C-alpha cells in the first residue's frame, strides 16, 4: 500500500470570514497557509478564492494570480475548485479552467447542499471533463453520493480517461443532502470504486462531525485524506478549529500511525499523473 496523499481544502465557499476569522481569504493568507500545510505534509491544495469583501468569487484575474502565487511559493499541486459556490453559473465554473491549474475538481452530479442545490447537469459534466482532457488538466472527481460513482463509470466509458490517464476521486461525505459520513458509506463507495479503471485512487473528507470517522475509515481502506476549514470548523466537541495547519497535522499523525506516511508532492504528482 502506498503512502497517504493529503489534500488541504483551506477556505471553501460556504463560511464567512466574519464568523470564522481564521479562514484564509486573502492571497497572502492563502499562500502562507499553503506553505505551512506543505511543510507539514500536504501535497495538494484545493482552492476557492474570495474577493476584497471576503465573498466567494471566480474572478479570472484573481484565479490566475492565485495559481501563479501558489506555484511560485510552494511545490503543492494546485487544484482549483470548478464547483465554486452553489450560486455560481456554469459559464463561470467552466472558465475556471482558463486560469491554468494543474488540477481542477469535477463533480459527478447534482446534490442538495444544505438549503441550496449544487447543480451539475450531465452535459455540464461532459463539458468540464472534455475541456480538462484537451488542456491537460487532471481532474479530481468529486463524489457526494453513491450514484455519482456510476455516473463517473459512464463518463469514462463514453468519453475516455482523463488527462494523465489516472482516475482519482474524492468522496465528500456528510454534506446535508448527500451520503452520510460513515464507515459503511465509505465501504459501499469503495466497492464501486473497484469497478473503475485499474489503479483508481480515492481520498475522502467528512464534513463537520464526520471528519474523524471518515478519516479513520479512509486510511484503513487504503484511501487518502482531504482535510481543511472548507469542510471542518470544529476540532473537537466545543473546540473550534484554530487553523488549517491544525487539521493537516492531525491527518499527518493519523497517516503515520497507519504506517502510510504522507506522500511528498513529487510522489503525489507521480501517482496522479500530474506533470512536474
Ligand atoms: N462549494 C460547493 C458548492 C468543489 O469544490 O468542486 C462545491 C464544492 C465542490 O466545494
Ligand atoms: Zn471545494
- Residue 142 Cβ inside 6 Å of ligand 1? The answer reads yes
Pocket test for ligand 1, best of 14, 87, 105 (most atoms within 8 A of CB): 105
How many domains are contained in the chain? 1
Between the two ends of the chain, the Cα-to-Cα distance in Å is 23
Expressed in angstroms and rounded, the spacing between residue 81 Cα and the centre of ligand 1 is 6
Q: 113 CB less than 6 Å from ligand 1?
A: yes
Question: Does residue 35 sit within a domain?
Answer: yes
pLDDT of residue 20: 98
pLDDT in tens, the chain (276 residues): 689 999 999 999 999 999 999 999 999 999 999 999 999 999 999 999 999 999 999 999 999 999 999 999 999 999 999 999 999 999 999 999 999 999 999 999 999 999 999 999 999 999 999 999 999 999 999 999 999 999 999 999 999 999 999 999 999 999 999 999 999 999 999 999 999 999 999 999 999 999 999 999 999 999 999 999 999 999 999 999 999 999 999 999 999 999 999 999 999 999 999 998
ipTM: 0.99
- Burial class for 168, CB neighbours closer than 10 Å (0-12, 13-18, 19+): buried
Asked if 17 contacts 30 with a C-beta cutoff of 8 angstroms, the reply is no
Which pTM does this prediction carry?
Answer: 0.98
**Is residue 97 one of the residues assigned to a domain?**
yes
Q: What are phi and psi of 200, to 5 degrees?
A: -55, 135
**What domain range is 115 assigned to?**
6-272
Instruction: Return residues with CB closer than 5 A to ligand 2 (ion).
Output: 81
Q: Answer yes or no: is 1 within a domain.
A: no
Looking from the CA of residue 106, the nearest atom of ligand 1 is: 6
Ligand 1 pocket check for 211: Cβ under 6 Å: no
Check residue 1 and give its pLDDT.
67
- Which CATH number characterizes residue 115's domain? 3.20.20.70
| Strands (E) located in 71-146 | 77-80, 103-107, 111-113, 116-118, 138-143
What CA–CA distance (Å, rounded) separates 240 from 34? 20
Three cell numbers written together for 145:
453520493
Amino acid at each position: 500500500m502506498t503512502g497517504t496523499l493529503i489534500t488541504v481544502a483551506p477556505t471553501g465557499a460556504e463560511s464567512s470570514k466574519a464568523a470564522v476569522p481564521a479562514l484564509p481569504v486573502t492571497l497572502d493568507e492563502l499562500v502562507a497557509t499553503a506553505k505551512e500545510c506543505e511543510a507539514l505534509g500536504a501535497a495538494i491544495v484545493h482552492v476557492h478564492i474570495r474577493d476584497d469583501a471576503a465573498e466567494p468569487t471566480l474572478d479570472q484575474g484573481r484565479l490566475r494570480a492565485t495559481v501563479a502565487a501558489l506555484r511560485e511559493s510552494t511545490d503543492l499541486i494546485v487544484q482549483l475548485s470548478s464547483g465554486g459556490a452553489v450560486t455560481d453559473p456554469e459559464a463561470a465554473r467552466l472558465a475556471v479552467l482558463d486560469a491554468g491549474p494543474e488540477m481542477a475538481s469535477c463533480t459527478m452530479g447534482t446534490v442538495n447542499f444544505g438549503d441550496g442545490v449544487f447543480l451539475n447537469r450531465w452535459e455540464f459534466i461532459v463539458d468540464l471533463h472534455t475541456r480538462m482532457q484537451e488542456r491537460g488538466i487532471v481532474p479530481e472527481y468529486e463524489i457526494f453520493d453513491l450514484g455519482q460513482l456510476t455516473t463517473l463509470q459512464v463518463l469514462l466509458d463514453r468519453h475516455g480517461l482523463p488527462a494523465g490517464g489516472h482516475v482519482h476521486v474524492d468522496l465528500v461525505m456528510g454534506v446535508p443532502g448527500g451520503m452520510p459520513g460513515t464507515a459503511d458509506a465509505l465501504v459501499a463507495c469503495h466497492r464501486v470504486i473497484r469497478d473503475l479503471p485499474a489503479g483508481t485512487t480515492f481520498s475522502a473528507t467528512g464534513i463537520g462531525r464526520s471528519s474523524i470517522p471518515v478519516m479513520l475509515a479512509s486510511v484503513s481502506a487504503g484511501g487518502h485524506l482531504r482535510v481543511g476549514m472548507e469542510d471542518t470548523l470544529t476540532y473537537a466537541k466545543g473546540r473550534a478549529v484554530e487553523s488549517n495547519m491544525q487539521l493537516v497535522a492531525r491527518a499527518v499523525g493519523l497517516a503515520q500511525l497507519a504506517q502510510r506516511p504522507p506522500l511528498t508532492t513529487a510522489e503525489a504528482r507521480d501517482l496522479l499523473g500530474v506533470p512536474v
